[in-house]
């Protein structure tokens, strides 16, 4: 990859994809993203501006912070999908928009009941497997709605992202229970 030159005169508000000179796609080559992040960080790292004075150091710190924020958002698939939906005019608004299809809500209720009934490690392992499969399906649908359908269908992807967020939180709950089980607290 040729060295990327960051235009430090451009505003810090550029979108994450253009900041790394990447196409606005859900499917990203994470190795490429890592290389681009490292190349840009080398250019703007505050240590490079230690002799340039406080103003230049402050700007470098802002750029470094902005680049790290963008990198974290694009590296995480759930964050990237949510961000891409927002850029395409379909913000997730998870805190306000909790309406979900009834079939999904029934699935959530069943999973919660299974979690409450879980006793043995294999019960939890089964739940983890089920949730991971659901998340993988949602990721595939995000790829379809954001990358493969022309034009992109961000509202459909946003619905999948909201469901994915539910499943991700549930997976965290299951993992907490597994940790408690292994510590003998259950």
What number of CA atoms fall less than 13 Å from residue 174's CA on the CB side?
Answer: 27
Mean pLDDT for the stretch of residues 15-44: 93
Closest CA to 19 of 31, 3, 30, 8: 8
pTM for this prediction: 0.84
Q: 102-182: which CATH number, 1.20.1280, 3.90.920, 1.10.287, 3.30.1380?
A: 1.20.1280
* Extents of the domains making up the chain: 16-75, 102-182
pLDDT given for residue 5 in this prediction? 45
* The two domains 16-75 and 102-182 share their CATH topology (first three levels equal): no
Domain 16-75 class, CATH top level: mainly alpha
Instruction: Read off the pLDDT of residues 44-85 as tens digits, 9 standing for 90 and up.
Output: 877 777 777 778 778 888 888 999 999 999 999 999 999 999
pLDDT tens readout for residues 128-155: 999 999 999 999 999 999 999 888 899 9
- Backbone CA torsion sign across 84, 89, 95, 97: negative
């Amino acid at each position: 990859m040729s060295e990327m030159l960051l235009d430090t005169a451009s505003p810090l508000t550029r979108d994450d994809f253009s900041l790394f000179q990447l196409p606005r796609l859900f499917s990203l080559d994470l190795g490429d993203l890592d290389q681009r992040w490292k190349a840009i960080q080398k250019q703007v790292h505050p240590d490079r501006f230690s002799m340039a004075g406080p103003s230049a150091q402050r700007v470098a710190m802002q750029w470094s912070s902005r680049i790290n924020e963008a990198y974290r958002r694009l590296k995480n698939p759930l964050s990237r999908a949510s961000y891409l939906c927002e850029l395409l005019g379909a913000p997730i608004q998870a805190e306000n928009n909790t309406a979900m299809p009834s079939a999904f809500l029934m699935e959530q209720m069943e999973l919660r009941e299974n979690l409450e009934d879980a006793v043995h490690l294999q019960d939890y392992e089964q739940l983890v497997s089920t949730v991971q499969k659901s998340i993988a399906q949602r990721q595939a649908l995000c790829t379809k709605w954001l990358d493969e359908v022309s034009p992109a269908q961000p509202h459909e992807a946003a619905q999948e992202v909201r469901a994915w967020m539910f499943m991700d939180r549930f997976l965290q709950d299951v993992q907490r229970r597994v940790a408690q089980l292994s510590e003998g607290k259950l």
